[in-house]
A and B are shown apart, each in its own frame.
Chain A
Amino acid sequence: MSKYFSKEKWSYLKYTISHPMDGYYWIRHRDRGSVPIAILLVILFSISFTSNRLLAGFVVNDLDPRGIDSLFELLGVLSFYLILCVSNWSVTCLMGGEGRMKDIAIAIGYGTTPITVMLVIGTIVSQFVADNEQAFYTLIVAVGIAYGLIMMLIGIMQVHNYTLGKTLLTLIITFVAMLIIIFLLLLLSNLLGMVYNFFHSIYTELIFRA
């Protein structure tokens, strides 16, 4: 455990955030990153995302708290993360990407950090804004999201040793692959449900016959 959460790994996360180009390069080539930390960061992101939706100030928050389920959102974020990693890996495998699965997971996971931080700051700031100061809140959150996305983009680019154009192209294909994966999963679950129903009905039939 201490191997994954060592002090060096944490300080390297800091370095990656301030120097994404170099940071991600050495993550790929010197194993300076840590997958458990990345997963932890994604979980933290989910928590900050939900708490922002639930706790942001009345002036900026127009969401119905009855429609927000933190556990459901955590599951959603994690499964989105998983599918994104898997589909990016499967696409880049075919397109000459050098990154391993764990590099992709780290690239995306570390990239959520600025979003998490800015969402927390935004949630706190939102308690103290009136309606004409909403722009501050929006700016804080937007900066976080923009930096996070840029970090993820650079991460994917560096771990695969791609050019920017090729990264964008693979990302588009990644999203198509995600849709295909989701479709297949739905199909699978549907078919499995049918199989289950089939056996279940045989079972009930037998029960009623006996």
Chain B
Amino acid sequence: MKKINVLKKIFIACLTVCMMVTAFGEEVNASSIPYDTYNYDYREYIHFTPAAYVPDRCISGEQLLYNGESIGAFVTPQDMCKAPNGDVYIADTGNNRIVVLDNGLKYVKNIITGYYKNGVLDTFNQPYGVAVSQNNQIYIADSQNRRIVVLNMDGSLEKIVSDPKSESLEEGYVFVPLKVTVDYADRIYVIAQNMFEGIMVFESDGKFASFFGTIDVKISLWEKFWKRLATKEERSRQQLYIPTEFTGIDIDPDGFVYATNIDSNGTQGVRRLNPRGEDVIKKGQNGNVGGDLWINGSTEYAGPSQFTDVVYRKNGIYSCLDKKRGRIFTYDHEGNLLYIFGGLGTQKGTFSMPVAIEDIGEQIAVLDATNAEIISFNVTEYGSLINQAVSLRYDGDETLAVALWERVLQLDENNELANTGIGKAYLTAGDYVNAMKYLKLGMNRDYYSIAYRRYRNEILTKNANYFLTGILILVVVYLVLKPILKKKRAEAKKLKEAKKGGESNE
């Protein structure tokens, strides 16, 4: 049954595409954008929208000049990060260097290949992750040297974090940091290889503090049942139930950590961890922050999205990068999907192995490890309208967002967020009929109910006179008619009995 449903959905999606292509073939230049931009509506149908972001440039190492010379191709770069001053730091893992680009990704500002430690030059070995703190210090996850190197902006060494010691760590544990981020108090959050207990937190002095945001293992009843049945030998051969590792990490200005993980169910691919390590993410109306909702199928291309990186943008908006299908999912602070774009491929603007995503001003940049290049995306009118409107809602200025949402509806008639936004504004303004109309289109039952209740009260109080008079009239009519009807009925009964008696007599 489910399969049929999916087939049906796919069929409908195909039909929609065909119709869109035939109806607007002349207006939308399909060849210019190598991917679809879409969203899921309340019923979890795919609905295609105008592009939110369009590919801008592909930046490879060869194009970049430093001191008049090309810096050479990147080799499996793994991480990218934006500094407070707007510079972009790229962990060029295979070349054992950190490349610093300007905000426009045009000029190379610096290349860090090493640092002086006690007067001796030291280098990196497979630097996998990079982060810049609010205090302008560069944190480099120097993976094969098994340490985190902290440098100042001038390139001098600040400190080295290595060899964490704790009772909770196994004896002989090898610390291989992969991704790193820093909060406002210089606490270091590290995703380490084969570390299933969560994110490792180091204090600002470099001491290992604790694990953070451990993902609980969920064992279904069915699995428990099989485990019970299995013999010891069988059990030893079975797959171990270990939690998934985190894949990417980012931090917002308030110190909340956003961390992605690969979820085999596709329901939650990203977590928002408060300073105590608890997940406080909101999952929106579909109860899902795991990327694509249509994931059934048996091909290589099917299956849940696999988030590899997340970027906190601003005003509660964050984007997750899916390496399975190369898509970028943008959510607001309530967990509603704003837009989905991107794809795998060989055309300009598509990826083969996306590993990191970063928000650079008005642009989104994605780092591709296999193609060894950065792909930047420009925001379109549609995308920026949604960004602005959602930001205004985040700040509590929903009435200001109405004009933006109305423009969004002109571009994309079925946008539920826009309908809800306009409906809420009408609700605040006291226009309940319009509020109900838009909130129904936005499939927002809670606010629709509020609007409806007020509308009902309004009508009831306005027409209270008529209602009460009507009830009074009904009561009077009933009282007057009751004895008359009773009399009539009794007469009819008498007549009938008399007739019957007559019949029986005969």
Contacts and interface: CB of A to CB of B under 8 A. Distances in A.
B43 A130 contact: no
A66 B456 CA distance: 29
A128 B456 contact: yes
Interface in A125-165: 128, 130-132
Interface string A94-121: 0000000000000000000000000000
Max count, chain A CB within 10 A of own CB: residue among B43, B440, B450? B43
B496 interface: no
A58 B445 contact: yes
A64 interface: yes
A131 B43 contact: no
B440 A130 contact: no
Contacts of B449: 59, 130-132
Contact of B440 (A58, A64, A66, A132): A58
B318 interface: no
Contacts of B456: 128, 130
B382 interface: no
B459 to A, nearest CB: 11
Interface string B444-484: 01101110110010000000000000000000000000000
Nearest to A61: B445
B43 A59 contact: no
Contacts of B448: 58-59
Contacts of A59: 445, 448-449, 452
The interface size bin for chain A is: under 10
A68 to B, nearest CB: 13
Contacts of A66: 43
A56 to B, nearest CB: 13
A146 B446 CA distance: 29
Contacts of A64: 43
B9 to A, nearest CB: 11
Nearest to B451: A130
Nearest to B443: A58
Interface in B420-458: 440, 445-446, 448-450, 452-453, 456
A131 B448 CA distance: 9
A131 to B, nearest CB: 4
Interface in A149-205: none
Interface in A61-113: 64, 66
B440 A131 contact: no
Contacts of B453: 130
Nearest to A64: B43
Contacts of A58: 440, 445, 448
A130 B449 CA distance: 5
A64 B445 CA distance: 14
A176 B449 CA distance: 44
Nearest to A63: B43
A132 B440 CA distance: 17
Nearest to B452: A130
Contacts of A130: 449-450, 452-453, 456
B259 to A, nearest CB: 33
B467 to A, nearest CB: 14
Nearest to B453: A130
A132 B456 CA distance: 14
Contacts of B452: 59, 130
Interface of A: 58-59, 64, 66, 128, 130-132
19 contacts: A58-B440, A58-B445, A58-B448, A59-B445, A59-B448, A59-B449, A59-B452, A64-B43, A66-B43, A128-B456, A130-B449, A130-B450, A130-B452, A130-B453, A130-B456, A131-B445, A131-B446, A131-B449, A132-B449
Interface of B: 43, 440, 445-446, 448-450, 452-453, 456
Given A59-B445, A128-B456, 17 more contacts: A58-B440, A58-B445, A58-B448, A59-B448, A59-B449, A59-B452, A64-B43, A66-B43, A130-B449, A130-B450, A130-B452, A130-B453, A130-B456, A131-B445, A131-B446, A131-B449, A132-B449
Closest 3 A-B residue pairs measured CB to CB? A131-B449, A130-B449, A130-B453
